[in-house]
Structure 1
Amino acid sequence: MRKILVLATVFLMVMLFLSGCNIPWSLENGDSEGGQPNNGNGEEDNKTEVSLYFPSKDNSRIVGEKRKVIAKDDAIVKSCIEALIQGPENEELRKAFPDGTKLLSANMVGDVAIVNFSKEYENTDELDELLLRVSLVNTLTEIEGIEKVRIMVVGQELTGADGQLFGDMARIPLDSEGKPKMNDETTVVIYFSDAYSEKVAAEERIVEITQDKRIEEIIFEELKKGPETEGLDPAIPEGTTLLSVDTENGVCTLNLSKEFVDNHIGGSMAEMMTLNSIVASYTELPNIDSVQFLIEGEVREVFIHSALDSPIKREEESIKK
């Protein structure tokens, strides 16, 4: 009887110590690749319904899928991530995580979930990694008490292509079609060539978002207005109109009128700065990583000197820091 009392006292002291900690839950897990979450005795009362977010197969939207996951003993975060790694049940969706990715650890600091993954997390291109981040952040911020998510890879905080830390990421609002919702006003970054045609420089603009106009159209309008900063040159030749714009699988297709070519000032460097200004402006959007130019609805082999027959990616070395 005395032995039982001693054990009970020790157990109570441990529980009191844990309840005083700032971190409400923590897990260390070296084997979370694929498979169903471990559901113990499988009782339904140990499960809770959550929305898991997955990209569509054409990468055009991110959709919530209702699933039941284990919630016993604060294991809901681990269960949600394991279910994300496993993938969706809906055949129109795809899993966001690269094959082989494992959850190494997860813990909370305040209202921030800090999740640490194996090196396989990085086996993605820029677009897939973006969709993975949105899927993960929006799934975890569904959980009560989680407002932001910090992603680590083998203990190192996740960085973008520019080397900047992503930091603590808040939920990304989605519309009814699963596409990112814009606020009434948002800040866009527009680029213009410097006077020496060596690099493009950024200007921030606060723009109004309306239901009848896409953000891609607004960016073109801002480019067409020209620079506000002295010493920068316009990007869009006079008279150019945007005939149509479409974004799919990370490629923004700009269909421009013939004035884009006919009214350009000419010169290979000036051409390059025009293209770099436009591409840098559009690739500031999280769902765009390259721009395909069309002239009057047709692919043009060259601008005048520069190639236009394939999507053009952002060139960081052309951007003034």
Structure 2
Amino acid sequence: MEKSGKIFFVLFLSLVLAGCQKEQTEISGYQIYRVNADGTVLEPEDYTPQASGGDALIQEFVDKLGEVPAQVGHKKAIPDGVGITSVKRTEQNLRVDFNGTYSKMDNITEVFCRAAVVKTLVQIPGVETVEFTVNGQELADVQGNPIGVMGDDSFIDTKGEGINSYHSASLVLYFADKDGKKLVKEMRNIHYSSNESLERLVVEELVKGPENEKLRSAVPADTKILDVTVEKDTCIISLDKAYGQTGAAAVTPEAAVYAVVNSICENCDIDKVQIKIDGESEVKFRDAVDLSQGLTRNEEIVVQPEENGTITPGVGVDPALKE
């Protein structure tokens, strides 16, 4: 049941991500991200900028990222020789272009450099995502797949749970169309710890909702994930009652259920998905879908892209919805 082309495990890094999400407690509320002396841990440093916002603040943060940290035990995440040649802002996205030396970094150094730059720049008011290019060409992973736009939640830590493996994945997720009756694919790149199961990660991304404003979330934002387990070829997901009570009028019960089922089966080595509500499986979801048995993916509910259409990693919606 190999799902080639779906998940790319491009990095197996031994690292500790403790401290990556340190709360901003200083008055300034800003942090410049560094790495520790071994280059294996992101280290945020509180920073009070001189600029108040806009392009001036962007340039100040870029300059600061290139400076040697004053704090003992920290070093800059952008290695010597790797230079930022330009930064262009388009609405809420920053496109950061690097010189060719960027491509010479090893995988560990590169992912920490990328995480430090993104997590530093998305703190700027009005900046939601960052995109990398190298000599004007879009940055790609080791499989040749475009990295695409990245946000603060593109880099998921394990909140101090210890040494772990760090993976990068291209997820194909299913969200409801504007009518709430059919499902549409959306693709996004994510980095995550092996301390978190891929199945749980997929559900968490569904709860976050779609990037495309023309799509609807099939899983309410206030849904709590109670448990996610795998038994042989079946993934068992327990969600709280909010899953079936919020947004019921906007999305059909079939779309709400198969958004989860199709997304899990698409990205994980899973044939069936059983959804429980508050731990109970003997449930007829919104009086329409029987959840007592494991469900297999449903292709009939999926809006198929136009002929020769593709979905773009990190941006990723069916071409018909881009207009």
Per the normalisation by structure 2, the TM-score is 0.41
Q: Higher helix share goes to which structure?
A: 1
Larger RCO, structure (CA 8 Å, separation 6 or more): 2
Per the normalisation by structure 1, the TM-score is 0.41
Larger radius of gyration: 1
